[in-house]
Chains A and B, each alone.
Chain A
Amino acid sequence: MARWSYPRPPSSEITPRGVWLSRRRLLAGATLGMAAGAGPRAFAAALHTRPGPFQAAETPTPLQDVTHYNNFYEFGLDKTDPSTRSGQFRPRPWTVSVEGLVAHPRVWDIDALIAAMPLEERLYRMRCVEAWSMVIPWDGFPLASLLALAEPLGSARYVAFESVVRPAEMPGQTGGLDSLAWPYVEGLRLDEAMHPLTLLAVGLYGETLPNQNGAPLRLVVPWKYGFKGIKSITRIRLVEKMPPTTWNQMNPAEYGFFANVNPDVDHPRWSQASERVIGAGGFFGGGRKKTLMFNGYGAQVAGLYGTMNLRSFY
């Protein structure tokens, strides 16, 4: 079937980025009075970022799909809820504390943190536990860099993450039958947290994170199922014991602490052997492919698990 492609304008007709950014600032100034009604992209800003390591070979999922097909139960159950119901969420001002078993605990202002960390763009595969996948160009820095500044103590074995609770801004947090326990919490073993693949993302596609993708700061662990990637992080705590994690507490038989992508260990209700490729284009876009062990990052991370039985520690 012939594909219609978007006509590319000659480069002379493309507005330089600096110019449209300044227009955007002008508009933002003009509408300051209506700031309360500003949409989810109100805080979008370009990030200074350079290409980093671990670039996936796959084609990136279109920005429209990355920002309009989301699981973020704080805003609702449907995939479209995060993009349509996150307009009231304020990702600035924001602080994130690094605390617990560290030599230098600190409460970071998000913009001070972004200024302190060299940002890298990393094209990662993202595999959801629901058996679909995307390929996303994240902008961020390794979690290891932030932890190094805090200097974990010898007794620290795990990292516990905590997200935000703001029922007034997050309609999915106002209770009800379908509600998870808030705040959303996640955790990693310290060696997983220190792995160079583990990223704290502050943006995607070169701009600050949209609200629906976990603004202003989220975790990205590409060899684990997507739900490990806790969004809108407020607290990072180094601890001695394995911390509780939200989905594991909700249904321990279906969601483990490790949640490594594993085609051989099925979810009780569906197979994890293959995945639907998001944005592949219609029923006949060929949108299903085989799932790879550790989401294709085995060469980098298999060593973390040695002889551990990944069937019991799913």
Chain B
Amino acid sequence: MPRLTGAGRTRTLLPWRGETMVLMALGLLPAALYFWYGAHDRLGPDPVNVFELWLGLWAVRFLLAALLVTPLRVVSGISLLRYRRMLGLLAFWYALMHVSVYVALDQQGNLAVLWHDITRRPFLMLGFAAFMLLLPLAFTSNNWSIRRLGRRWGRLHRLVYGVAVLVAVHFLLAFKTYNATSVSYAAALMAMVAWRAVSGVRARIGRAGP
């Protein structure tokens, strides 16, 4: 594998110009496969639930990966910055599929039930709020938006830390008991938020001078 360093230009994983598109397609391929299995009764006795939870888990994983890019560069010098947009968008696509499966397959599009659930259950409110916050981030994950929004783009994309907090709690509540999986993912997400908060404060102190 090529070495990815922070110094100078980042080298790429694949030697083609459409690299991120290819990686994105690769990232979405498992979901397509899983969908095919589920549609053909090859996901076990409770296929909708399995698919729904699996999509949610991968949304969390990609979100965590996107949040890890900057800490990783600061700590180790390895820069995956050119992949951050792709990771964030994969988190969004998996979240979108997670929500779609909940709406269309799990609740079978029953709007009354959906409204009742989303307005009453903190567990679902948190998840839904996280998804809503992801929407503007996904829509502005392109060069045109970055140019257009200027400094506001960075401020807007700080919303991702709000998403991380909401997702961490939603993820913890998705299990009947606290367990190694849920606690470690929630802790990792919160660690990213804490890291950002601390580095933000330090940068401000640095700017303020002695």
Contacts and interface: CB of A to CB of B under 8 A. Distances in A.
Nearest to A129: B176
Nearest to B117: A271
Contacts of B76: none
Nearest to A247: B176
A279 B38 CA distance: 12
A77 B47 contact: no
Contact of B49 (A269, A276, A281, A284): A276
Interface stretch (B2-10, B61-69, B132-140, B178-186): B178-186
A182 interface: no
Nearest to B120: A266
B178 to A, nearest CB: 6
B113 A269 contact: no
Given A176-B180, A288-B108, A283 B47 contact: yes
Interface in A160-200: 176-178, 180
Interface string B154-177: 000000000000000000010111
Interface string A240-269: 000000000010000000000000001011
A250 B105 CA distance: 31
B183 A177 contact: yes
Contact of B116 (A180, A271, A276): A271
A279 B80 CA distance: 43
A132 B106 CA distance: 11
Contact of A278 (B45, B51, B175): B45
B40 interface: yes
Interface in A66-102: 68-69, 73, 77, 79
A184 to B, nearest CB: 13
B94 to A, nearest CB: 17
Interface in A88-147: 130, 132
B46 A132 contact: yes
B41 interface: yes
Contact of B44 (A69, A271, A273, A276): A69
A271 B35 CA distance: 25
B117 to A, nearest CB: 6
B202 to A, nearest CB: 33
A270 interface: yes
A151 interface: no
Interface string B23-44: 0000000000001001111111
B204 interface: no
Contact of B117 (A64, A69, A79, A270): A270
Contact of A68 (B45, B116, B176): B45
Contact of A69 (B46, B106, B124): B46
A178 B44 contact: no
A274 B47 contact: no
Contacts of B105: 283
A65 B46 CA distance: 9
B48 interface: yes
Contacts of B39: 282-284
Nearest to A66: B45
Nearest to B49: A276
A296 interface: no
A287 B121 CA distance: 23
A130 B42 CA distance: 22
B58 interface: no
Contact of A77 (B44, B46, B124, B177): B177
A285 interface: yes
B178 A178 contact: yes
A284 B173 CA distance: 27
Given A271-B117, A282-B40, A177 B45 contact: no
A61 B48 CA distance: 17
A287 B48 contact: yes
B121 A269 contact: yes
B49 A77 contact: no
B56 to A, nearest CB: 14
Interface string A275-304: 010110111110110000000000000000
B48 to A, nearest CB: 6
Nearest to A267: B121
Contacts of A278: 45-46
A61 B44 CA distance: 13
21 contacts: A64-B45, A65-B45, A68-B45, A69-B44, A69-B46, A73-B177, A77-B175, A77-B176, A77-B177, A132-B46, A132-B49, A178-B179, A180-B177, A269-B123, A274-B113, A276-B46, A279-B45, A282-B39, A283-B48, A287-B47, A287-B48
Given A65-B45, A69-B44, 12 more contacts: A64-B45, A69-B45, A77-B177, A177-B183, A250-B177, A270-B123, A271-B117, A278-B46, A279-B45, A283-B38, A283-B39, A284-B39
5 tightest A-B CB contacts, nearest first: A282-B41, A178-B179, A65-B45, A269-B123, A69-B45
